[in-house]
Amino acid sequence: MARRALVIGSQTYDLKGVVSDARGLSSVLQARGFEVDLRVGQDATREGILEGYHRLIRSCSAGDCAVVYFSGHGGRVRDPEYRPDGRPRLSSHEQFIVPEDFQFSREGDFRGITALELSALQARLTALTREVTVILDCCFAACMSRASGIRAKALSDTPYGWIAAHLESLRERGVAPASLHVEGNPHAVRMVASGVDETAFEYLTARGVWVGAMTDALLAALDEAGQLPVSWELLGRRVRERVISMFPFQRPELEGPVQRIALALGEVASSPGLPYFGREGRHFLRGGRLHGVNVGDEYLVMPFPASRADPAHGLARASVIHVDTGSCEVRLETSNRTLELTPGSPAFLVRAAGRKRSVQVIDDGAEGSLAGALRIRLEASGLVRPAPEGGGEPSLATVSLGTSFIEVRDRDGCRVAYPLQAEPGAVGQVVHGLETLARAQALRELESGPGADTLEDRMCVEWGVVEGSKSRRLSGERRLLEPGERVYVRLVNDGPERLFASVFDIGVGGRITLLNRSQPSGMLIEPGGDGWVGMRCGQDLVGIELRWPDAVPADAPGLESLVVIISDRPQDLRLLETGGLRPRASSPRSQLQSLLELIAWGGGRDLRPLEEDSPVRYMVRHLEFMLQCPTRPVPA
């Protein structure tokens, strides 16, 4: 297994910290055993960058660990003729990075490197090795594979026609192959400095050195972690909070298989935690009503890079005293380690005050110890509990304990998993599956924001199936769809403000999956614009394929739901994602992040104040259909 990295620093126009950033990351990578191809100055032209990427691709093979890093300007140019006319279009803008020779661009010779080209190169790299990480420290970095002491890393005055002609040439030459993924490359971890419409910054440090905000935070987090195996998920949250604490409107994003160990091979199973941040002497967690956080919930704040609650090393116990849409205020019971509380310190739920779903337990002859172990685990769960004796309330599911097997059925009497052996080791799997059903039911019941959180309904939500390359809209009564059919969602913003949309699929069996994975804090939909789920990068509408889960018996058609959450500010809602009933490993989860915590757990930039006190307004749409079970039973 080899470790290889392409590190690019394109210090164009007024940027000052790019070369420093590139050399700093190169040193860290070399210390971790990477062979680094460092390209700065005249080695970071368009031709030089592409040659370096091709060289990396040629040198990699299965199992190698590969890293691609770019620091410099990013550009985003609007198509002046764009109209949301119903034709599938990935975006109203085109994005690109800016090489050293970009200033020599002219009509017919565009020297930028577009998001489409970066995605195609990334796809070629992941076809050779799945251990790929891409880091982009530039403006408008999401969806692409830096005032006194502050400089923006944005460039947006390029004629759109130059880019359009360049993209058409790429397509004619087959640079955009049909193998590009619908919603981001699932084999690559991608860390980007800012959202699709946001600016990234560099700044002058107290020691008199210019640095990129995200790169500086990344290097600091890696130094904190040392040799510990830290997941990209945990590292990314630390980086984001460090950046937000300095620049409230730059939000680094992370997507892909984020449970992977940063700059190494393997994965780290971690519990979903909420990042801590402080403001004006008050204490907050970045999770709120949309994440399922409730007043009275209790969290244990741990030192970075802890991946789970450990009372022996906790920094403080945090009790939730107020919940907003995307954050919550907490009261701290501190230890003598309080001074170690810093932005991004992870907080893990230790007691949930929210509603628990009732589960009926039927003992059909199992050993008494098994029934007792199940009841203890149910009582300890933050999402489910044993049904009270005598009934009187609807149950989420029924668990039948037999002499040989344990069986779980939903409220409609359908099996949601194949029977498990009646042994103590199965109890944890059963409770995990019940918690999956509870999260799914809570998300299905999620309503639009109340009061000050209300978002005016100005979003047209269309959905349907893709037949060939054409869309067929569905509406009206609940439809029966077949496995293998492909669905799409189209969102049209008829209002006057920018909106952000996250689309979740609740599959048969309760698994929750975020569909807009390439923009994990919500797809930006501009006034008069639209957004599509099921669009291949830069190409045609292909849809999201419906599949019957392997872990669910094919006894009868199952309910499947699409939940669309629309907000007026970007919100990372991945905390809602869940695994199946019989998990192989912890799956990545994330943060609109307050109501959803309860569900999960019972150009240039001005230095403006953090606006956490203003409510995040949101609305929710639910789309439901029945998925036909396969004609033959799915094997256990």
Token code pair at residue 187? 């084999």
Q: Rounded to the nearest 10 degrees, how much is the dihedral formed by the CA atoms of 427, 428, 434, 440? A: -170
Q: Which residue has the tokens 């000052």?
A: 16
pLDDT band at 394 (very low <50, low <70, confident <90, very high): confident
- pLDDT of residue 372 exceeding 80: yes
Please state the rounded mean pLDDT for residues 419-425. 90
With contact defined as beta carbons under 8 Å apart, do 188 and 136 qualify? Answer: no
Q: What is the mean pLDDT of residues 412-428?
A: 90
State the average pLDDT over residues 546-574.
Answer: 91
Average pLDDT of span 340-363: 86
Contacts of 206 (CB under 8 A, 6+ apart): none
- pLDDT at site 177: 55
Average pLDDT for 567-587: 62
Per-residue pLDDT tens digits for 295-316: 999 999 999 888 888 898 899 9
**Under 8 Å between Cβ of 341 and 285:** no
The region, left, alpha or beta by phi > 0 then psi within -120 to 50, assigned to residue 256 is: left
pLDDT of residue 290: 79
| Cis, peptide link before residue 248, omega less than 30° from 0 | no
What single DSSP character describes residue 415? B
Helix (H, G, I), strand (E, B) or coil at 148: coil
Q: 16: which 2 tokens? A: 């000052």
Confidence of residue 88 (pLDDT cuts 50, 70, 90): low
Structural domains in the chain, CATH included, are: 3-255 (3.40.50.1460), 274-351 (2.40.10), 357-439 (3.40.50.10150), 451-571+616-627 (2.60.40.2550)
Mean per-residue pLDDT of the chain: 83
Phi and psi at 595, nearest 5°, equal -60, -30
pLDDT band, very low/low/confident/very high, at 334 (cuts 50, 70, 90): confident
pLDDT range class, residue 148, cuts 50, 70, 90: very low
Mean pLDDT of 206-229: 90
Mean pLDDT value across residues 193-219: 86
322-347 average pLDDT score: 84
* pLDDT above 80: residue 81: no
Instruction: Tell me: pLDDT of 32 over 60.
Output: yes
Q: Name the packing angle between helices 46-59 and 115-126 (round to 10°).
A: 20
Percent of the chain scored above 70 by pLDDT? Answer: 81
